[in-house]
Amino acid sequence: MNYFDGKIAIVTGATTGVGEGIAEELFRRGATVIITGRQFSRARQTAQRIDPTGQYVIPMEADVRDHLSIKALIDNTVEQFGGLHMLVNNAGITGPHGINICDYSIDDWNDVINTNLNGTFFGLKYGIPAIIQSEGGAIVNLSSSNGIVGIPGIAPYTTTKHGVLGLTRSAALEFADKGVRINAVGPGYVNTPHMQTLPAEVREWMASTHPMKRMATREEVAKTVAFLLSDESSFTTGAFYAIDGGYTAQ
């Protein structure tokens, strides 16, 4: 299954969780994967776990809130590896939970917006030209099941994930005839290592919100992302793929 041989990919926010799972899947399928995080030490540890040889999973420090950091990430990738074919704008935070809009702090609002929405915009802004220069490729943006429904208490997160869909669709239309396909995925609750630290009753409630009565695995999200990056979805752009066990069909 090495149909990404010779392809260069970037996955932001890939030191753990869903991003780590996506990076592992792309590596398994033959890609050279640059993984990023705000802390280089954590990115290096993850890269070494996935690829002990250090040849095909490369850690780089990047802060998606800073457009110059993302520009440097893209520029360094192209310079070191000769191009960029795939980009996964995964980095994101949920922010504080259970707080209504009137009580949400400005600082927390800005942090969520800057990370989730601005970070995706910066990835598109600098990643698209690099992919065009590399004779085409694909981008997947991480939205959420909350990208098409509302949830009280996490308005900034929900706002950003709706915004990611708007960015995805606009960018897909702008570059549909330029050899760059841009799609979004919307996971529900995913059974990541962080989820395993939560109390059992919380995890059981999260699972129960999906009609399939379980959370997604990281592998299920990663395989959908890999499909959208591959030529198997060559006529798909501007799409939103829900990976939510039926949550948004209710």
- Concerning whether 157 is annotated as a catalytic residue, the answer is yes
Q: Is 228 helix (H, G, I), strand (E, B) or coil?
A: helix
pTM, rounded to two decimals:
0.96
Share of the chain above pLDDT 90, in %: 92
The CA dihedral of 64, 139, 191, 206, to the nearest 10 degrees, is 90
CA angle 37, 247, 165 (to 5 degrees): 50
Which residues, including other chains, have CB under 8 Å from residue 35's CB and lie 6 or more apart? 10, 11, 14, 15, 19, 20, 23, 43, 46, 47, 57, 58, 59, 60
Catalytic residue (one of 3, 104, 126, 157) = 157
Mean pLDDT per block of 10 residues along the chain (250 residues) reads 90 96 97 96 96 97 97 98 98 94 98 98 98 98 94 95 98 98 96 88 91 94 98 97 95
List domains and CATH numbers for the chain: 8-241 (3.40.50.720)
Query: pLDDT tens, 157-211?
Result: 999 999 999 999 999 999 999 999 999 999 999 998 888 888 999 999 999 999 9
